Amino acid sequence: MNPAPPVEALPYDAASVGEALGPSWPELLRSAYRWMLLGRTLDARMQALQRQGRVGFYGAATGQEAVNVAAGLASLRDDWVFPGLREQLVALVRGHPLSTYVHHLFADAKDPALGRNMPCHPTARDVHYVSMSSVIGTQVSQAVGLAYALKQKSEPAAALAFFGDGGTSSNDFHAGLNFAGVFLLPVVFCCTNNQWAISIPVARQTAAASLASKAEAYGFSGRQVDGTDFVATYRELSSALKEAREGRGPVMLEFVLYRMTPHSSSDDPAGTSRPISCSARPSMTP
């Protein structure tokens, strides 16, 4: 077996982190670390409970914690979150009670959905977190519709639309980005490129140099971000959300990272060509 490649250190010192995150950066990083640790621990526990038959379904976000925590911390109370499949941690960071989320996972009597929604597909109206959907890409056009309403009402808020690399092949991706670009809407498109849409590698998903480059066809900018780097992720999300709230239109961010677990508890990656090692930082398009 070949040894795992060395992990590259993030290029930061105290001065550069302070410049990127502001004067309160020590507490921000401590808070981010606590939330990421909670997310990783929660994933491990819930996957174990699912294997015991105590939770019906679970989609882990292992490897994607930096993006979820950054989104929760960078967004404001009046912003709206339209999740894909692995953004439950965003709701928790924004203030949704952990106990309520766990009740949903167990689909018990205290589940806000009363067991009527698929496990691990929560909704959290209290923190503007819209219900997940297993239909690929629908949240993109829904977020755009909400952003249109925000603009019509002149509300200084933005919508965050999350989707994976596979979601860029959906009809709603095209319709949503096109509408947002035409009407200059306050929405940030967050593509979590974790390299695999269930078992299909991103190289089979598109021939484009990057997924972020697709935004140019719709008249606005797209940027790649190292999704394993909390500092870069928080900085780019904060900037994109500020642009959206100020009426400067949509932005697409492609977070390049790696899904360290199967697509969900219902999938078995055995037999696919997914590499075993995920210790190296993701490669970015030059």
CATH number for the domain spanning 44: value is 3.40.50.970
Residue type, 282: P
Total number of domains in the chain = 1
The segment with the largest mean pLDDT, out of 102-106, 191-195, 235-239, is 235-239
Is residue 268 in some structural domain? no
Residue 111 belongs to some domain of the structure: yes
Is residue 284 domain-resident?
no
261 within domain boundaries: no
Q: How confident is the model at residue 276 (pLDDT cuts 50, 70, 90)?
A: very low
pTM for the model stands at 0.90
Q: Is residue 15 part of a domain?
A: no
- Whether 2 is covered by a domain: the verdict is no
Q: How far is CA 24 from the centre of its chain?
A: 24
Domain that holds residue 241: 22-256
Q: How far apart are CA 114 and CA 110, in angstroms?
A: 7
Dist. CA 160–CA 48, nearest whole Å: 30
Per-residue pLDDT, averaged over 217-240, amounts to 96
Judge whether 149 lies within some domain. yes
pLDDT at 4 over 80: no
pLDDT band at 279 (very low <50, low <70, confident <90, very high): very low
14 domain residue, yes or no: no
Per the model's pLDDT, the better-predicted residue between 204 and 252 turns out to be 252
Helix 65-74 to helix 25-51 angle (10° resolution) is 130
Q: How confident is the model at residue 1 (pLDDT cuts 50, 70, 90)?
A: very low
Mean pLDDT for 166-193 is: 97
